[in-house]
Structure 1
Amino acid sequence: MSIPLLPPGDADLRLIVFDWDGTLMDSPRRIVHCLQRAAVATGAPERDEASLRNIIGLGVQAAVQELYPGADEAFVHQFTAAYRACYLEAEDAPETPLFAGVPELLNWLDAREVLLGVATSKSRRGLDQALEATGLAGYFVATATGDEHPSKPNPAMLRCVMERAGVKPGRTRMVGDSVYDLEMARHAGVPAVGITHGVHPPQRLQGAKPLALLPNLAALLEAFRQAERTT
């Protein structure tokens, strides 16, 4: 069955915006590890892994407030600093490889002159570090991070990427693995595709009404190829 990835009529697909953690990079284990470390460092009650995975996709401060309702500003700041120090610097934290199929997907889209962007809850320092480590920086015309904009599902960072790329919502697609990604896209008027190899299960992603749910990036590439063949 064909997935309606392309805009209707004669409009071309001009921009695809990706989430980073759990979508392009297999980093949820490292995120969970560092959230656990931050809880120990701040003396906060530990949360189980399911609770920690549930908040991946939110900005760090919004995630802390979700994990510890009623926490004061000083605690949120302390926890956030401890988490970021672990994620960026800890040598014993889990590795963060790219998911299979990332280069093939980005190369295929780039060859068709589709603009690419990133809207992530990572910090600017964290995203820049990841882009440098993976060598992917040159693919993306615009990126927006969680320390520059309100937390997902607020649409601000997605709108920023579209504005910088000069592309309207109808000719944009969002790709993400969390319900926060898909809700952000809905609030911005952007059709979205959910990838289920990340943090949120298909049942939860389906509630945000994406164009499609796909198991991985190879399946997304095949869906784009099929859409191209049928136009």
Structure 2
Amino acid sequence: MSTPLRLVIFDVDGTLVDSQSDIVAAMTLAYAAVNEPVPPRAEILGVVGLSLDVIFPLLMPQMSAQGHAQMCEAYKNAYMEMRAQAGVKQSSPLYPGALEALHGLQSEPDILLGVATGKSKRGLDKLIEGHGLEGLFVTQQVADFHPSKPHPSMILQAMADAGVEARDTVMIGDTSFDMDMAAAAGVRGIGVGWGYHGRERLSAASVLIEDFAGLRPVLNEMWKVSA
């Protein structure tokens, strides 16, 4: 019997790349644009992964929709400017082992790779170009076209694009939003220990890994069970 196609979907910020410095800096400028004090760093990183149109109402519920839109625009402009000045590889460096893991998985004929991120399409395109990741992901789901995580829309569309069933799909991410999205879509979630949410927030994950070297053994075990 032939091996079924498998789909491995990755979150981006906090999972593949460490963009926290630029995220916090852009948030600081977004708050400055509306003359409001910046929340603690941990609070900012705690909402990474959500779409911007959800983040600002969550952090600033007392502010008007116009104010939220102003903050969103200020954030986008600041982030783009910092990325342009520093370059993608410095602005959002890949975590150790990420590139090797991606290429290793892609080299296997029965494995397809995807992305599900709160980034915009423009932001993801720049990131992929900057790190030379073109051609790695058969499906790329971004905030422009979906409800914010943890709604399962991104994963459901990724599975439809790839033609892969839920039992053969896994979601890899660093936040509770990723793991809750996976659960909502009926797929298993692999939480990573190096991102922006602590282990205590990843209770919905099927398993946790501490580095990319631990990814393939976990996938092998999962797929053995589901075979």
Global fold match (TM > 0.5): yes
Alignment of 1:80-119 (within 5 A): 80-90=72-82, 91=85, 95-113=91-109, 114-119=111-116
**Which residue is equivalent to 1:188?**
185
**Which residue is equivalent to 1:148?**
145
**Which residue is equivalent to 1:128?**
125
Count of paired positions? 221
**Which residue is equivalent to 2:168?**
171
Cα-Cα RMSD: 2.3
The Cα shift of 1:182 comes to 0.5
Pair 1:214 & 2:209 matched:
yes
Assess if the C-alpha contact under 8 Å between 2:33 and 2:70 holds in 1: no
Any idea what SS the aligned residue of 2:196 has? coil
Quick one: distance in 2 between partners of 1:100 and 1:64?
Answer: 31
Quick one: distance in 1 between partners of 2:128 and 2:51?
Answer: 19
The Cα shift of 1:160 comes to 1.2
Which ranges of 4 or more aligned residues in structure 1 deviate by more than 4 Å? 225-231
5+ residue gaps, structure 1, are 1-9
The Cα shift of 1:22 comes to 0.5
Amino acid at match of 2:199: P
The Cα shift of 1:227 comes to 6.6
Distance change >3 Å, CA 229–CA 151, structure 1 → 2? closer
The Cα shift of 1:216 comes to 2.0
Quick one: distance in 2 between partners of 1:43 and 1:110?
Answer: 46
**Which residue is equivalent to 2:21?**
29
Amino acid at match of 1:197: W
Distance change >3 Å, CA 125–CA 39, structure 1 → 2? same
The Cα shift of 1:45 comes to 2.6
What is the percentage of aligned positions where both structures have the same residue? 37
Note the alpha carbon deviations across 1:205-230, whole angstroms, 9 max, x for none. Answer: 12x2x111111222213434677899
5+ residue gaps, structure 2, are none
Greater displacement, 64-73 / 176-185 = 64-73
Report the TM-score, using the length of structure 1 for normalisation: 0.88
**Which residue is equivalent to 1:66?**
58
Any idea what SS the aligned residue of 1:136 has? coil
